[in-house]
Amino acid sequence: MVFTFTLNYELTSDESDMDALVERLAEEGCDDALIGVGQPGRLALEFIRDALSADNAIEGAIKDVRRAVPNAQLIEAALAP
């Protein structure tokens, strides 16, 4: 099944190169997400991910983001209706 969900993160102050951040996210498997970096210190990712369940989709995406941006703090995860 395909699930749509959003993950919102707070970034540390050392994450200032947004182009490099977006590239790392793609390399770590987040190429199925629209990435928003417009708000300073925040990162928003809207995923459209194929998985067996919504939990699997969200957990996998969180792991992918953690590999790319290990110091980012997850502040919200929301499944689209």
Average pLDDT over residues 74-81: 94
CATH class of 2-79: alpha beta
Indicate the DSSP class of residue 52: S
Per the model's pLDDT, the better-predicted residue between 3 and 13 turns out to be 3
Residue 14 has pLDDT above 80, yes or no: no
Arithmetic mean of pLDDT, 37-59: 94
The torsion angle over the Cα atoms of residues 15, 36, 30 and 3, rounded to 10 degrees, is 140
- In the chain, where the domains are located: 2-79
DSSP assigned state of 2? E
pTM of this structure: 0.92
